Structure 1
Amino acid sequence: MELSRAYVLHSRPWRETSLLVDWFTEDWGRVTTCQRGIRRSHKGAAGRPTPFSPLQIGLSGRGGMPVACPIEPASPAAGLAGCWLRGQALAVGFYLNELLLRAVQPQEPLPRLFAAYEEALLALCIRQEPFEVLLRRFERRLLDELGVGFDWQQTVDTGLAVHPEQTYRVHPEWGIAAETAQGMPVAGRVLCALAANQPQQHADDRRAAQALLQMLLAPLIGAAPFHSRRLWRSSAE
């Protein structure tokens, strides 16, 4: 049986003893499986797979929803072994999972996005960069891998490099422009920091970068609030 590296994105009860599990896999993209009997409490019942743990799974079953079987530990990427996300890092991890659940279509293989997700989990474990840098980088990678990204370093209308002292307009359909009234106005210094995966220097710039990425992602993820934001607020208190 073919196995694929996988992470749990979300699970929810189904009937009395089963779970519906959403996975992000390296070879098959996002898949949903029905794990029958997994919620039974008796000795010998299969354990419930948990988010952020590197696993490998196979898919079985004919017609209807597949079953993940087997579910086995996978060799973790360097730095992920024994890593547990806590506090705001846990909230960021759940936000990444919600992004994938909303933006990625089922059964669309995206191996480079899978690698970016694993890199983001590693960054959350080692905590060597601000959360804002990790989030904005992953959001841009998501746009790129879904075919709606653009060049963050030059304008589409003039072909000139983005300058930190100028203001530009950013539109989700064509990107960054210097000589148009359409799109969201964004300071060049914000765009330059995003392109270089650098932290924004001011609180207003951090808010502007977040608002920009949310605007670009909106056609993919919709307008419903993210549950992970409640966890972020509670962990910050």
Structure 2
Amino acid sequence: MATTRRPAAPLNAYVLHRYDWSESSLILDLFSREQGRLAVAAKGVKRPYSQLRSVLLPFQRIHVNVGRPPKSDEAGESTSEVQTLRGAEWAGGGAMLTGAALFSGFYMNELLMKLLARHDPHPALFDAYAQTLPLLPQGDDAVQTALRAFEITLLHEVGVLPDLSLVTNTLEAVEEDRSYALLPEAGVAAARSTDTAIAGEALIHLQAALVHGSIAALQAVCAQWLPALKPISRGLLHYHLGSPVLRTRQVMLDVQSLDP
């Protein structure tokens, strides 16, 4: 007796980027909680009568159904990265981002596209992204705090952030009352005169928040140590991205230079 295949459960996702594929279709770069980053073909979505045009927008949480994952060859390598969009529904969310908040949102999206491999799920990072978006329209300090917490979560999730409670080379415990540096090449180390120093207390609390998995706790620590964390996280990101300036940041700087 033949069994009926149950349809796959919808994926929780956000649209990171949209690329023109044809006159009527798009290729979407999605960030899903269950499957990580996905390349999805949305056929016919640009047509005037398509009901998906108002759904497939950035920074809006959606539920999507996609075709089967790409097949792999004998070596385990994917033979195709693009899946087909079967359906999408709006899953709730805040108002569309505007102004400076829009730049911050695209900055987060660019980080995800450049640092995450496809089909590598990071549910904790997805949740951090979802919890950060509503904070972007707030005041500057709140936005900077939220972005630092997101950056640290991202670096932790992709495996390039060392244990912040230990000196990397010696594995000695970090001491609260000493100053340290967080270096891209050497991890946690004693601060030199040329380094951006951060208190051991901050590193210990950051590591505890990461282990706990609470983005709110991480944001609270970042708020307390924001001046030191901004250059440190920027240095780590530039090192692992291999590029000194992200496209979204350069556009933001160009716009700011035009503002009298």
The TM tier, using the shorter chain, reads 0.7 to 0.9
Gapped runs of 5+ residues in structure 1?
A: none
**Do residues 143 (structure 1) and 150 (structure 2) align?**
no
Contact 1:88-1:235 within 8 A present in 2 as well: no
**Do residues 223 (structure 1) and 240 (structure 2) align?**
no
The aligned residue for residue 25 of structure 1 is 32
Q: Which of 152, 156, 164 is equivalent to 1:152? A: 164
How far the C-alpha of 1:220 sits from its partner, in A, is: 3.7
Contact 1:22-1:33 within 8 A present in 2 as well: yes
**Do residues 108 (structure 1) and 114 (structure 2) align?**
no
Q: For residue 66 of structure 1, what is the amino acid of its counterpart?
A: Q
Contact 2:175-2:201 within 8 A present in 1 as well: no
Gapped runs of 5+ residues in structure 2?
A: 1-6, 72-79, 207-220
How far the C-alpha of 1:159 sits from its partner, in A, is: 1.9
Larger relative contact order (CA 8 Å, sep ≥ 6): 1
Q: For residue 72 of structure 1, what is the amino acid of its counterpart?
A: E
* Alignment RMSD (CA, Å): 3.1
TM-score (normalised: structure 1): 0.79
Q: 1:13 to 1:224 in 2, by over 3 A?
A: farther
The farther-off stretch of 51-60 and 125-134 is 125-134
| Cα distance between partner residues in 2 of 1:177 and 1:82 | 41
TM-score (normalised: structure 2): 0.73
Q: 1:190 to 1:101 in 2, by over 3 A?
A: farther
The aligned residue for residue 177 of structure 2 is 163
Q: 1:230 to 1:177 in 2, by over 3 A?
A: closer
The farther-off stretch of 142-151 and 218-227 is 218-227
| Cα distance between partner residues in 2 of 1:212 and 1:128 | 18
How far the C-alpha of 1:185 sits from its partner, in A, is: 1.5
Contact 1:31-1:107 within 8 A present in 2 as well: yes
1:48-197 paired onto structure 2 within 5 Å:
49-60=56-67, 64=80, 65-74=82-91, 76=92, 81-125=93-137, 129-153=141-165, 155-156=167-168, 157=170, 158-163=172-177, 166=179, 168-178=180-190, 185-189=195-199, 192=202, 195=206, 196-197=221-222
Percentage of matched positions with identical amino acids? 28
**Do residues 14 (structure 1) and 31 (structure 2) align?**
no
Contact 2:94-2:134 within 8 A present in 1 as well: no
| Cα distance between partner residues in 2 of 1:90 and 1:30 | 21
